[in-house]
Amino acid sequence: MMDQRPTLADVARVAGVSKAAASRAMNGAYGVSDAVRRRVVAVAADLGFEPHPVAQALATGQGGRQRRDTVEVLIVDADPEAMSGKPFYGRVLAGASRALAGRDIGLTVRLVAAPPAEDPDPPFGRLLINVPAAAATAYARRGRVVSLGRSGAGVAFVAPDNDGGGSQAAVHLVSGRRERVGAVFGPPTPCADERRAGFLRVMAGAARPVAVADGDFTRSRAYEAARELLAREPDLDAVFAACDVTAMGVLRALRETGRRVARDVAVVGFDGSSLAEAADLTSVYMPVEEEAESAIRRLLDPALPEPGRLPTTLTVRGSS
């Protein structure tokens, strides 16, 4: 005779939550609100659901194995060398780890070229990086998410003052009497767009035309973009690079074409990463570790107030 007893999947379906959320609610784990927990428990009682003792022991860590709630850092980046070549991500993980210190919550990282369409077993929460607005909104409907950078409608986010940082870079070049300015901007993301807007606004106010090339935050594309700019405008005396990785490609192009950095062409980056320090690069510093830490704390406690924009500061070095 077939077993007709209700299952956890039945409880999840009737309660209108995922199976993972139902399991967390039944076992008193992180990741569900009090309202959801009460609803799941009430549905389980109505259906006569009884957790299997072995499964419950495994879920709660009483059976020799312990399942930990996890926070997933979901990074959308088509660059296969992203984790090793972009210091930004390492700084994010440092800040996230700092926020989770002392908590029984694991940290996982997923690097994908596009947001996964399937989400059968969502984690306790997700920290979203470069996730398009529509996908971010969909994730937010299913669970806890916080985005690094402005994202979809209704999606909580933490971001630096990108617009202000772009403005600081432009003011520095204008005050340094740079007249023929180029810029290698980033991909069409909110953060990159904000940096672009701040930079161009100041340049327009100073009546400085800007030769523009689009980049994608990779060294290879930045190198190509810088070569294109120099071919179009051989007399450039300054280049703004929308991130430090982009600046590395710009510096290579300048060296190969015989330009002397700072004397002939000033270069300003954005991030303030270890790359900037190593390359003696003037760069707009953004507090990535604090940004990630703040985002994780809000992920753990959505009742916390929104942190607002984190300040950026220009660090002047030998490249300008």
| 84 and 227 co-located in one domain | no
Distances, alpha carbon 54 to alpha carbons 27, 44, 51, 59, 307, in Å: 13, 18, 9, 9, 43
pLDDT in tens, 4-40: 778 888 888 898 888 877 877 877 666 667 788 889 8
Q: What is the pLDDT of residues 263-286, one digit of tens each?
A: 999 999 999 999 999 999 999 999
Q: In what order do the strands lie in the sheet with 266-271?
A: 210-214, 181-185, 238-241, 266-271, 282-285, 313-315
Q: What is the pLDDT of residue 68?
A: 63
In a domain, 177, yes or no: yes
d(CA 37, CA 35): 5
Q: How far is the C-alpha of 211 from the C-alpha of 230, rounded, in Å?
A: 10
Q: Domain span at residue 15?
A: 8-60
Measured between alpha carbons, how far is 167 from 176 in angstroms, rounded to an integer?
14
pLDDT in tens, 67-76: 468 999 999 9
Looking at the structure, tell me whether residues 149 and 166 fall in a common domain: no
2 occurs within a structural domain:
no
Answer yes or no: is 317 within a domain. Answer: no
For residues 109 and 93, is the Cβ–Cβ distance under 8 A?
yes
The amino acid that residue 58 corresponds to is L
DSSP 8-class letter at 242:
S
For 76-124, how does the pLDDT look when each residue is reduced to its tens digit (9 = 90+)?
999 888 999 999 999 999 999 999 998 889 999 999 999 988 777 788 8
Q: Is the same domain home to 104 and 48?
A: no
Do 187 and 273 fall within a single domain?
Answer: yes
Is this model's pTM higher than 0.85 or not?
no
Task: Kindly state the DSSP code that residue 261 receives in the 8-state scheme.
Answer: B
State the CATH number of the domain containing residue 278: 3.40.50.2300
Q: Is residue 87 part of a domain?
A: yes
Clarify whether residues 256 and 192 are in a common domain: yes
How are beta strands 282-285 and 266-271 bridged, if at all?
Answer: parallel
Q: Do 129 and 92 meet the contact criterion of CB atoms below 8 Å apart?
A: yes
Q: Measuring CA to CA, which residue among 96, 92, 6 is closest to residue 49?
A: 6
Q: What is the average pLDDT value for the chain, to the nearest integer?
A: 89
- Report if residue 14 sits inside a domain: yes
